[in-house]
């Protein structure tokens, strides 16, 4: 084993676990400083997210959002692109979903509206990613700068549309009318009455998210386009020498990434809120960056990381309710620590593990 290489079980399993343990250790110290028992806080957080049906439903509902945004970031990662515009792409994707539901909900059942809304969310999200992709590919504008700027443009655009164009008549609220049943996704608790999920808004978007994971796995690891994306991300000079067009790969990858982010709106707009409203993305696009990093840009890892962040969202709400001293702001601090160790400090333990495994395999290398 060469220095710097780690076994897959270490890189994809042990290293994220160490980062997560370090994050919870620091968070436990913060909880201890305010006079609360960290172990009791962990118990409440886990029970609140996984201990009863409604908690599980909310955890999976939040995880659905993170799966879509995490996949969006991961696809761009494989091409060496850092798409941090998932928030804006999901926001504009909500416009595509909302327009599809408003146009069809009074005339057709939900299962006819659903594929149109999926197409609308993906197309609008991809379209919002196209301009940053084109500027990166043709003009050399860094995709990090352009995508984050487009987040703010998307926010302003949606405010204008929901106030001046799409607002329901006679209402002062910046939102559309509620969708009729033909524009609402069925909830899992309605499809499976024997499954106790309480009032959790978990809906069929969760199944769509799992299908998106399968799609990304096939795309990245079982298709020619995926091979070109990974080759371009690993070594652009070699990819160009091999005849891979950097312009095509950059634009196509960003379109796929934006489309996946746009699909997040299915869960919120068509599944939970049943209307298009302001700020429904709620920062899910930015959390998707940490999800992709913790999940090592692999669909299975992204599912696991999304469930973890879903537990933090749902269990954190229960923790703030049970322990008034641990405010909602404290929960945000804990979430921020996980993001910090999973993202900015992702390589904190890597050098130590590399030295450990390099020394452990040195006798094998000498014998060989």
Angle at 249 between CA 245 and CA 250, to 5 degrees: 115
pLDDT for the residue 361: 56
Taking each helix axis from N to C end, the angle separating 328-339 and 15-33, rounded to the nearest 10 degrees, works out to: 150
How far apart are alpha carbons 103 and 357 in whole angstroms? 59
169/222: higher pLDDT: 222
Mean of pLDDT values over 112-116: 97
DSSP 37: -
In this structure, of 8-17, 110-119, 230-239, 269-278, the range with the lowest mean pLDDT score is 8-17
pLDDT for the residue 19: 81
pLDDT for the residue 343: 66
CA 130 to chain centre: 19
Is residue 346 very low, low, confident or very high in pLDDT (cuts 50, 70, 90)? low
- The model's pLDDT over 95-106, given as tens digits with 9 standing for 90+, comes to 999 999 999 999
* 245's tokens: 């067009």
How far apart are alpha carbons 125 and 253 in whole angstroms? 13
How far apart are alpha carbons 262 and 83 in whole angstroms? 13
pLDDT for the residue 282: 87
pLDDT at residue 113 tops 90: yes
How far apart are alpha carbons 273 and 97 in whole angstroms? 12
Is residue 231 very low, low, confident or very high in pLDDT (cuts 50, 70, 90)? very high
pLDDT for the residue 172: 84
Is residue 168 very low, low, confident or very high in pLDDT (cuts 50, 70, 90)? confident
How far apart are alpha carbons 280 and 282 in whole angstroms? 5
pLDDT for the residue 239: 94
Quickly list H helices, 222-298: 224-234, 236-241, 246-262, 264-265, 284-294
Place of tokens 């059942």: 109
- The model's pLDDT over 123-157, given as tens digits with 9 standing for 90+, comes to 999 999 999 999 999 998 899 999 999 999 999 99
Class of residue 8 by CB neighbours under 10 A (exposed 0-12, middle 13-18, buried 19+): exposed
pLDDT at residue 248 tops 50: yes
How far apart are alpha carbons 328 and 289 in whole angstroms? 22
How far apart are alpha carbons 251 and 133 in whole angstroms? 5
User: Which of 4-13, 84-93, 194-203 is modeled with the greatest confidence?
Assistant: 84-93
The reported pTM is: 0.91
pLDDT for the residue 329: 79
* 220's tokens: 């990245």
- Comparing CA positions, the residue from 200, 105, 98, 112 lying closest to residue 157 is 98
Is residue 37 very low, low, confident or very high in pLDDT (cuts 50, 70, 90)? confident
Angle at 3 between CA 346 and CA 20, to 5 degrees: 20
pLDDT for the residue 196: 87
pLDDT at residue 5 tops 80: no
What is the gyration radius of the CA atoms in the chain, in angstroms? 22
Place of tokens 């009318």: 177
Mean of pLDDT values over 292-306: 91
pLDDT at residue 214 tops 70: yes
* 3-class DSSP state of 203: strand
Q: Which helix (H) or strand (E) holds 350?
A: helix 350-367
Quickly list H helices, 105-204: 110-134, 143-164, 188-191
Is residue 3 very low, low, confident or very high in pLDDT (cuts 50, 70, 90)? very low
Q: What are phi and psi of 274, to 5 degrees?
A: 50, 35
How far apart are alpha carbons 268 and 285 in whole angstroms? 13
How far is CA 267 from each of CA 84, 169, 281, rounded to the nearest angstrom? 20, 26, 10
CA 259 to chain centre: 12
Mean of pLDDT values over 180-188: 95
pLDDT at residue 51 tops 70: yes
pLDDT for the residue 183: 95
pLDDT for the residue 341: 77
Is residue 88 very low, low, confident or very high in pLDDT (cuts 50, 70, 90)? very high
pLDDT at residue 368 tops 90: no
pLDDT at residue 344 tops 80: no
Contact yes or no for 57/198 (Cβ under 8 A):
yes
- Comparing CA positions, the residue from 128, 125, 129, 97 lying closest to residue 113 is 97
């Amino acid at each position: 084993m060469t220095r710097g290489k780690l076994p897959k079980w270490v890189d994809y399993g042990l290293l994220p676990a160490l980062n997560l343990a370090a994050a919870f250790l620091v968070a436990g110290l913060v909880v201890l400083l305010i006079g609360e028992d960290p172990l009791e806080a962990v118990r409440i957080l886990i029970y609140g997210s996984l201990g009863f049906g409604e908690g599980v439903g909310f955890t999976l509902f939040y995880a659905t959002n993170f799966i879509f945004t995490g996949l969006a970031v991961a696809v761009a990662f494989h091409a060496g692109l850092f798409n941090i515009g998932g928030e804006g792409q999901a926001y504009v994707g909500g416009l595509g979903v909302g327009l599809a539901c408003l146009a069809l909900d009074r005339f057709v059942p939900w299962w006819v509206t659903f594929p149109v809304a999926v197409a609308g969310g993906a197309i609008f999200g991809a379209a919002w990613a196209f301009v940053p992709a084109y500027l990166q590919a043709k003009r050399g504008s860094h995709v990090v700068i352009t995508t984050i700027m487009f987040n703010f443009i998307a926010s302003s655009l949606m405010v204008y549309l929901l106030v001046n164009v799409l607002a329901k008549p006679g209402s002062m609220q910046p939102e559309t009318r509620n969708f009729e049943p033909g524009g609402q996704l069925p909830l899992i608790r309605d499809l499976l009455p024997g499954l106790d999920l309480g009032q959790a808004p978990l809906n069929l978007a969760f199944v769509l998210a799992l299908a998106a994971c399968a799609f990304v796995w096939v795309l990245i690891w079982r298709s020619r386009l995926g091979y070109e994306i990974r080759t371009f991300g690993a070594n652009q000079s070699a990819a160009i020498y091999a005849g891979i067009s950097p312009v095509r790969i950059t634009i196509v990858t960003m379109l796929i990434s934006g489309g996946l982010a746009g699909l997040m709106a299915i869960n919120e707009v068509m599944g939970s809120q049943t209307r298009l409203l302001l700020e429904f993305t709620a920062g899910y696009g930015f959390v998707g960056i940490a999800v992709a990093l913790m999940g090592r840009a692999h669909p299975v890892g992204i599912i696991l990381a999304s469930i973890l962040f879903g537990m933090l969202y749902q269990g954190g709400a229960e923790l703030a309710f049970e322990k008034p001293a641990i405010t909602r702001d404290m929960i945000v601090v804990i979430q921020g620590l996980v993001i910090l160790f999973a993202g900015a400090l992702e390589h904190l333990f890597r050098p130590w593990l590399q030295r450990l495994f390099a020394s452990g395999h040195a006798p094998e290398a000498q014998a060989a």
